[in-house]
Structure 1
């Protein structure tokens, strides 16, 4: 049976670049891997065919020979058949080599790896959290706040390298700067963090005395934070690169500001709306009238109390609530009436209240309805 064209096997054109060929093989390797295709009996053969094609096309000399002679380039006198001679495809051994070429691309992100070799794997600094408590007025208006954060910053003496003056970090001899070592285990290549450099790829022979080779020192840092109007408790503000400095020149982490809005003595917040409980006298509730109430921006609003208002009655002031975090209209403010029972009465006041109470049930409709219902309940129980 004639072999399938290598370019066709990988799904690329004959003029494809080395990078295009590698990307095509990555896709095929993930698509056809036997572990992901247990229900496809042909997956293993297709996977091996893709691997064989990539082993040839990734090598400039083999690719040139294949482009000129096709599969015959690796048969008989043209270098031996695949799996045979020194110039041919060598089966499982070359599979490990080919698969190793794309190992980082397929699994590097999951293993915390870094693609390519010979580069420093300086560790990224940790993210930091800062809890900031602000008033409801500040949440309404927004503010610029300076915070002081204890953190790690890059060492000025060694410029973050971790090495003393006049010296440089050396490439780790165990991993050659990769930060990881590989071991062949049958069909697969297994990677582990280098035990000598702990994955950094470099070793410090003469560490900086100021930072003890870490490349960073403990220090407090003052930062200006913009708190936008409309923030709520739990709002998180990210300051990129303002977290802990990385080891030996590694990138800094981020700083997260978590907002906590303090309780207010006058207003209760529910999303964008505000609630204000206003006490009114019994006479004012009965007769009606106008009252002035505070607003969160420091102003005043006049509210009309309808005659005969009861405790718990609410009135809406549109647009007097909190602003939306990302622009838009403000919420509303709700005034809740709390009718206050008079205390510390004089003799005359008591006398007047008794006279008022004797006027009849028509002045207290809720009481009349309630006690009528109670009487009916008791009568039904007797029956």
Structure 2
């Protein structure tokens, strides 16, 4: 996305957070909105889908500390009143017309040469260089747009990593001309008017101005025999199958970037990127805390009192966990290195002991005898309790 969009869009407002919000607050706000507006939860709801795309774009910028800093600095520089100035050939620039980088680097509105070409022409005139105004720059290639899509994974797929195939219908390089825009067997020709620069020069009084070449549309090349499939654009819309390599440990709401897998650029220009937002399904057995794998283990009261060895599942098999005698309900046992493997290392397996209560009416005689035996041994469950009388 360009700085032009940064001027026009308030990403903080999209996520419903203040400009001083912490990164953790931004992350929580995005996850909440992503769950509410995810396409899988709102089938056929175009408004929710559009909202999901907008909050994903906002999170991509201000959810990244480095990009957020750049975004804040740029908007502060532009100011609430916007940036304006003079443009080659008259008129004004406004913040909705350009990227600030374009103004100084030769990519102003309509592909004009910006300040560098404007002053280049002026100085050449002053030196008696005629109406040339210096060499123009070729218009910046029209790159493809970024594409957003969603992917739902099971807990195990997300934790272990998986290569998943997704089908995507989007503008892609034409298979007939391989993106050149020219009929197979032919090639685009350098524009004879601008000689491949994409801009031409004109003079107005003492000034020299660069403007887009009207003969080639600012591309610097012409196609005499366009490709019949894409009519010269080098782009067609088709359904592609893309392999998405999901890294181990990916979390719910996380985005995966596939460089160059977005929309194709015009006539072979670079393609945009593909952003895949991951939704992780809940698991009946496992949960996670960062890279730690969490499991609730049902146990009986005698197992807590006497101790036991119990088989517990992990992502890659089962392990035997030793319950120490005298354990208590809610106690957490840790198994080192059997959690989720991430780039920063492998977490632990945390097993929380949960006492399972027998159903009412089950083995009444045995339970009564057990209670009598405890009382006979002098056991009082409320001994030492602050509420005892």
Aligned partner of residue 341 in structure 2, secondary structure: coil
Change in Cα spacing, 1:167 to 1:341, as seen in structure 2 (3 Å) is closer
Report the Cα offset of residue 127 of structure 1: 2.4
Q: TM-score, normalised by structure 2?
A: 0.56
**Cross-structure match for 2:368:** 351
In structure 1, distance between residues paired with 2:205 and 2:347: 66
Does residue 264 (structure 1) correspond to residue 283 (structure 2)? The answer is yes
1:325 maps to 2:343: yes
Q: Alpha-carbon deviation of 1:221?
A: 2.3
Q: Deviations over 1:94-153 (max 9, x none)?
A: xxxxxxxxx989333687969864746441112233433333333444333333332333
Q: Is the Cα–Cα contact under 8 Å of residues 179 and 193 in structure 1 kept in the other structure?
A: yes
Q: Which residue of 2 aligns with 1:135?
A: 154
- Counterpart CA distance in 1 for 2:222 and 2:337 is 63
Structure 1 residues 104 and 267, CA gap change in structure 2 (3 angstroms):
closer
Q: Which runs of 5+ in 1 are unaligned?
A: 1-102, 376-383
Question: Cα 1:166–1:230, aligned 2, differ >3 Å: closer, same or farther?
Answer: closer
How far off is 1:219 after superposition?
1.8
Q: Among residues 88, 105, 108, which one is paired with 1:107 in the alignment? A: 105
Distance in 2 between residues matched to 1:268 and 1:112, nearest whole Å:
53
After TM superposition, the structure 1 stretch with the greater mean CA deviation from structure 2, 195-204 or 291-300, is 195-204
User: Are residue 239 (structure 1) and residue 269 (structure 2) matched?
Assistant: no
Mapped partners of 2:210, 2:373: distance in 1:
91
Deviation, structure 1 residue 226: 3.3
RMSD between aligned residues: 4.0
Tell me the residue number matched to 1:224.
Answer: 243
How many aligned positions are there?
A: 268
Unaligned stretches of 5+ residues in structure 2:
1-100, 114-134
Equivalent residue number for residue 369 of structure 1: 385
| In 2, Cα distance between equivalents of 1:361 and 1:186 | 110
**Separation in structure 1 between the aligned mates of residue 176 and residue 380 of structure 2, nearest angstrom:** 85
- Does structure 2 retain, via aligned residues, the 8 Å contact 1:141–1:230? yes
Shift of 1:276: 0.7
1:275 and 2:294 equivalent? yes
Q: Secondary structure at the match of 1:138?
A: helix
Distance in 1, matches of 2:180 and 2:263, equals: 15
Rounded Cα–Cα distance in structure 2 between residues aligned with 1:351 and 1:188: 105
Secondary structure of 1:369's counterpart equals: coil
Larger radius of gyration: 1
Which residue of 1 is the match for residue 72 of structure 2?
A: none
What pairs up with 1:57-68 in 2 under 5 angstroms? none
Give the counterpart of 1:337 among 343, 350, 353: 353
On the 8 A contact 1:320/1:331 being kept in 2, the answer is yes
User: Any residues of structure 2 matched to 1:43-82 within 5 Å, and which?
Assistant: none
- Secondary structure of 2:305's match? helix
TM value normalised by structure 1: 0.56
Which deviations, in whole Å up to 9, do the C-alpha atoms of 1:137-178 show, x marking residues without a partner? 334443333333323332233342334467665666886654
- Report if aligned partners of 1:175, 1:181 keep a CA contact under 8 Å in 2: yes
Deviation at 1:273, TM superposition (A): 0.6
Pair 302,354 (structure 1): closer, same or farther in 2 beyond 3 Å: closer
Q: Separation in 1 of the partners of 2:353 and 2:110?
A: 60
Name the SS of the counterpart of 1:156 in structure 2: coil
Q: Does the CA-based 8 Å contact 1:126-1:243 persist in structure 2?
A: yes
Spell out the pairing of 1:172-191 with structure 2 (5 A cutoff): 177-179=196-198
- Counterpart contact for 1:120–1:177, Cα < 8 Å: no
The offset of 1:181, in angstroms, is: 6.5
Q: Matches of 1:246 and 1:223 in 2, distance apart? A: 18
What residue number does 2:320 align with?
301
